[in-house]
Structure 1
Amino acid sequence: MSWTLGPGDLPDLARGAALLGTGGGGDPHIGRLMVEAAMREHGPVTVLDPGEVDDAAFVVPTAMMGAPTVMVEKIPRGDEAVTALRTLEAHLSRSADATMPIECGGINSMIPLVVAARTGLPVIDADGMGRAFPELQMETFGVYGVPGSPMVVSGDHGETVTIDTGTDNRRMEWLARGAAIRMGGAALIAEYAMSGADVKRTAVPRTLSLGLALGRGLREAREQLRDPVSALAEVLAPTGYSHLRVLFAGKVADVERRTVDGFAKGRARFVSFDGTSTLRTEFQNENLIAEVDGAVRCIVPDLICVLEAESGEPITTETLRYGQRVVVVGISTPDIMRTPEALAVFGPACFGLDAEFRPVEEAVPVG
């Protein structure tokens, strides 16, 4: 069933998208402001359930790529993603019937909404990551046979770069990353053009509506003086993200962060409130691994989310600061993201981590 998303929904969606971004995905607040501006001018957006998309429909996902730290200071002009879409349409001699997120976390839950508001296209309630990942080949679309290219990278000076590497999505990422770096460290893109049938086969379904529900759950928990983590667990329980585990509670003790090769890379150390336990995380835009006292408690592709201790507000890797009081949770990913094929594309080894994937519900059992 299609539904309408308006300006009043955006604060909740931004909050939920920040959670699903697992620390990365770009600042959803910036994306929210971009969507609000587009909606003020053009009106609300129609969101389509993936099940109702025609098999023959032509779908062009749109997104931002680059280091999230850059987006804090280099806010997009607003029309770059539409330029990328239109350029790809011209290259393929075909007009899009809908757009869609490539990832449901952070700013990339918002960019397709900007495109939809500005063009009148509907947005499909699905994505290709089920969270946020730092590299373009890390898509369920690609895992299950949809090539990412041809793709278009668009900068804030009106320039575009069209990249076609056939079925080599990793080389597509490498070339596009170089273009984005030379466009100032961040750019807007259109890629993974596919049919409606491909959407149903390869996408993680209903992640926009999940982000909206998670953000609403956190807001209502705060208004009702309820535990935000329990509220999140209630929202997630009936979904493909059904397992939530509290990994750690304490304070940020140290953050090392740098922008390298177009990514925000680093690590953080947290100390428990009583000083007896330590959590260490590593990130590449997004949180990748969480070790408590040397033992792995959660690892990519499962979600590692740092929350403000009192409100449950998600904290991104670029806003982690010494002294913040936090709760860190791990959330299970849907089955489509845990297959051997998927782990070969965005499992621990793809980030150079010397650890095997173990589901968070096994690493941190209840009881």
Structure 2
Amino acid sequence: MRITAADVPALERGVALLGSGGGGDTVTSAGLLRRLIESGREPVVHAITELAADTLVVPVGLVGATAAFTEKLPGGDEFGTAIAAIERWTGVRGQALMSIEIGGLNGLLAPVIARQQGLACVDADLSGRGLPRLDQFSVAATGRGVAPAALAEPGGQVVVLAAGSDALVERGARAFLASSGGWAAIALAPIPAGELAGHAVTGTVRAALELGTRALAVGESPDRPALAEALGGRVLARGRVLEVSRHVGSSRRGSPGFGRGSVTLADHQDGALLRLEMENEYLLALRDGEPVASTPEVLSVLDHRTGAPVLCDAIRVGAEVDVVCLAAAPFWTDPRRLPMVRPRAYGIDCDPVVSQ
């Protein structure tokens, strides 16, 4: 699948929707992708079946404060440095790249990095949506593990988290980010393409492009049935935001907590109150106090007029929005993996609500 200039708006909309209110603003990464295409270097994304089983695929992306990425732009060497560091540590050379996360800006970065590094790009990722922590990656859920992981920050520092539990790697990465520029490029150990079906969420780039294409095609201010049909999901509410509250969440496993909060809106259709619980992403929806949707399903808040997804840190009182629920990737509905992304994985005492 070749990504052209005409594909960028749809791909950007698709990864923003899958970010579930997190994953960072896609404007900067979309700009990088556009400039790459304008220079005549259109990226090609390969299905895993198009690669030899022994092709070594390196998961790459950006971790940390995504807002800092727009303020402290990459110098151009960070991703190559992280890839080289993981190759030195593992003693093997990567032949292709994949994203650590399809939701948000990371969903657009992998094709750019792969083209810049002269490597193939693979249609798969380690999240299938937006996720806040390294120890929630698909490789953690399957037992393969996150370590070793190499991080390179804009100031030139490089660290390899060589071993340890997934929680320990997550904690070590956060400590490194806190003492550096706020964000870093990350590269994980190469995974043979033949093993990706068991350890990654596959087909996510194409799925994001198709989702974004349908979302843009429905136009501005669509009615509820049209919006639900276009997105292949449910419209949970359409209304005006009445309240937004924010606070610092509780710490987990010795790590400082992410920002937490809730959003309340009144549904114009019947006056019901919908409350969204959020961390870096929207996690749980309650309608008049009753849970109606939750992670691992993807909850997205859309500006009612434009249809553009609204990030958790950007939602404000008075906004007219549509709250939609998109189906979870089948990878995460597997009972063996669901505990990694259910509400209790975020400290919310609620069973997951998963559509059938």
Q: Same fold (TM over 0.5)?
A: yes
Kept in 1, the 8 Å contact 2:147–2:161? The answer is yes
Please state if 1:56 is matched with 2:54: yes
Where 1:64 maps in the other structure, the secondary structure is strand
Please state if 1:291 is matched with 2:280: no
CA deviation digits over 1:126-171, x for unaligned, max 9? 11211011001112222123221111111111211110124x2121
Corresponding letter in the other structure for 2:205: L
Tell me the residue number matched to 1:239.
none
- Within 2, Cα distance between the matches of 1:332 and 1:85? 33
CA deviation digits over 1:29-50, x for unaligned, max 9? 1211122334445711111012
Please state if 1:282 is matched with 2:277: yes
Tell me the residue number matched to 1:201.
198
Tell me the residue number matched to 2:96.
98
CA-CA distance at 1:255 after TM superposition: 2.3
CA-CA distance at 1:112 after TM superposition: 1.0
- Within 1, Cα distance between the matches of 2:70 and 2:285? 25
Corresponding letter in the other structure for 2:226: S
- Within 2, Cα distance between the matches of 1:18 and 1:208? 12
Q: 2:309 aligns with which of 306, 314, 317?
A: 314
Tell me the residue number matched to 2:229.
233
Identity of matched residues, %: 29
Corresponding letter in the other structure for 1:175: G
Runs in 1 of length 4+ with deviation above 6 angstroms? none
Where 2:53 maps in the other structure, the secondary structure is coil
Tell me the residue number matched to 2:240.
251
Q: 1:154 aligns with which of 141, 152, 155?
A: 152
- Within 2, Cα distance between the matches of 1:235 and 1:326? 15
Kept in 2, the 8 Å contact 1:255–1:322? The answer is yes
Which deviates more from structure 2 when the two are superposed, residues 283-292 or residues 71-80?
71-80
Structure 1 residues 37 and 228, CA, compared in 2 at 3 Å: closer, same or farther? farther
- Within 2, Cα distance between the matches of 1:201 and 1:41? 36
Corresponding letter in the other structure for 1:323: G
CA-CA distance at 1:211 after TM superposition: 1.0
- Unaligned residue ranges in structure 1 (runs of 5+): 237-243, 362-367
Which deviates more from structure 2 when the two are superposed, residues 313-322 or residues 78-87?
78-87
- Within 1, Cα distance between the matches of 2:79 and 2:87? 12
- Within 2, Cα distance between the matches of 1:320 and 1:70? 19
CA-CA distance at 1:231 after TM superposition: 5.2
Corresponding letter in the other structure for 1:202: H
Kept in 2, the 8 Å contact 1:66–1:262? The answer is no
CA-CA distance at 1:82 after TM superposition: 2.2
- Within 1, Cα distance between the matches of 2:25 and 2:248? 15
- Within 1, Cα distance between the matches of 2:216 and 2:5? 16
For 1:127-206, what aligned pairs fall within 5 Å after superposition?
127-166=125-164, 168-206=165-203
Structure 1 residues 35 and 299, CA, compared in 2 at 3 Å: closer, same or farther? same
Where 1:222 maps in the other structure, the secondary structure is coil
Structure 1 residues 266 and 233, CA, compared in 2 at 3 Å: closer, same or farther? same
Kept in 2, the 8 Å contact 1:217–1:231? The answer is no
Tell me the residue number matched to 1:33.
31
Please state if 1:217 is matched with 2:206: no
Q: 1:88 aligns with which of 83, 86, 96?
A: 86
Which deviates more from structure 2 when the two are superposed, residues 72-81 or residues 335-344?
72-81
- Unaligned residue ranges in structure 2 (runs of 5+): 250-255
- Within 2, Cα distance between the matches of 1:228 and 1:208? 26
- Within 1, Cα distance between the matches of 2:315 and 2:45? 33
Q: CA RMSD in A?
A: 2.3
CA deviation digits over 1:78-99, x for unaligned, max 9? 4322221122112222221110
Kept in 2, the 8 Å contact 1:27–1:71? The answer is no
Structure 1 residues 348 and 274, CA, compared in 2 at 3 Å: closer, same or farther? closer
Structure 2 length-normalised TM: 0.90
Structure 1 residues 259 and 189, CA, compared in 2 at 3 Å: closer, same or farther? farther
Corresponding letter in the other structure for 2:172: L
CA deviation digits over 1:265-290, x for unaligned, max 9? 32222223378322221222111111
Tell me the residue number matched to 1:241.
none
- Within 2, Cα distance between the matches of 1:27 and 1:262? 21
Kept in 2, the 8 Å contact 1:148–1:193? The answer is no
Kept in 1, the 8 Å contact 2:228–2:235? The answer is no
CA deviation digits over 1:308-335, x for unaligned, max 9? 1133221111221221111101122132
- Within 1, Cα distance between the matches of 2:179 and 2:35? 27
For 1:8-27, what aligned pairs fall within 5 Å after superposition?
8-27=6-25
